[in-house]
């Protein structure tokens, strides 16, 4: 419980002041503990920062995985799956999701220079991946995916769309208006679900 309080306070300190202005005394004050007690949980300032980055990364990644998988949990038919994909597409457009994606990218950038953070982030990715595949595997078992679409391919495509989509502002070669982007997502979603029409009608 105390460790979690320290990690929350540390993550908050990073969000407010960045890594260069990170102060252990402010963290201890916010967690309502002494600096000495804080250091009984962490080796040094760098260890604390790495643990805080992993802590927040895990919260974001597993939290997004929960949002991603929730609509899939009650899917029984192809119509249910189409409805679940509509919910996922709409939810992925929320500005809050973009903020979470940016934090994820920043965490991964930090971890590339810190072995302890790198290991923690790898463990969080594995946890989120397992959670996603637990929700996708029943779709395969019920035969709801389009022919040739494996469960892993389905999960990876939606993982990329849901976790990787970042709002790109300004005029450039990849600029796209919201309506066109949403239409493209709906086309992709429809193509991934098994068609219940006879082959002659497709």
The architecture (CATH level 2) of 1-42 comes to: Orthogonal Bundle (1.10)
Rounded CA gap, 42 and 23, in Å? 14
d(C-alpha 30, C-alpha 24), whole Å: 10
Domain spans in the chain, listed from the N-terminal domain onward: 1-42, 53-195
Q: Which residues of the chain have pLDDT under 70?
A: 95-105, 108, 162-170, 197-202
Give the global pTM.
Answer: 0.77
Q: Is 148 left (phi over 0), alpha (psi -120 to 50) or beta?
A: left
Question: Whole-angstrom Cα distance, residue 67 to residue 85?
Answer: 12
Q: What is the DSSP string of 112-142?
A: TT-HHHHHHHHHHHHHHHHHHHHHHHHHHHT
- pLDDT tens-digit readout, 165-202: 555 556 777 777 778 888 988 999 999 999 875 444 44
């Amino acid at each position: 419980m105390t460790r979690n309080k320290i990690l929350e306070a540390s993550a908050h300190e990073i969000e407010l002041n960045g890594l260069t202005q990170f102060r252990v005394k402010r963290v201890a004050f916010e967690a309502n503990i002494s600096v000495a007690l804080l250091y009984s949980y962490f080796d040094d300032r760098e260890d604390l920062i790495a643990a805080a980055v992993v802590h927040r990364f895990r919260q974001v990644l597993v939290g997004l995985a929960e949002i991603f998988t929730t609509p899939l949990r009650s899917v029984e038919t192809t119509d249910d799956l189409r409805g679940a994909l509509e919910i996922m597409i709409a939810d992925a457009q929320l500005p809050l999701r973009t903020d979470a994606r940016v934090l994820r990218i920043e965490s991964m950038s930090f971890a590339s220079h810190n072995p302890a953070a790198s290991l923690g982030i790898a463990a969080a990715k594995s946890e989120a991946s397992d959670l996603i595949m637990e929700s996708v595997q029943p779709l395969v078992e019920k035969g709801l995916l389009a022919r040739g679409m494996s469960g892993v391919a389905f999960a990876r495509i939606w993982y990329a769309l849901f976790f990787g989509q970042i709002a790109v502002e300004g005029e450039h070669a990849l600029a796209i208006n919201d309506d066109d982007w949403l239409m493209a997502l709906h086309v992709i979603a429809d193509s991934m679900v098994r068609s219940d029409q006879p082959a002659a009608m497709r």
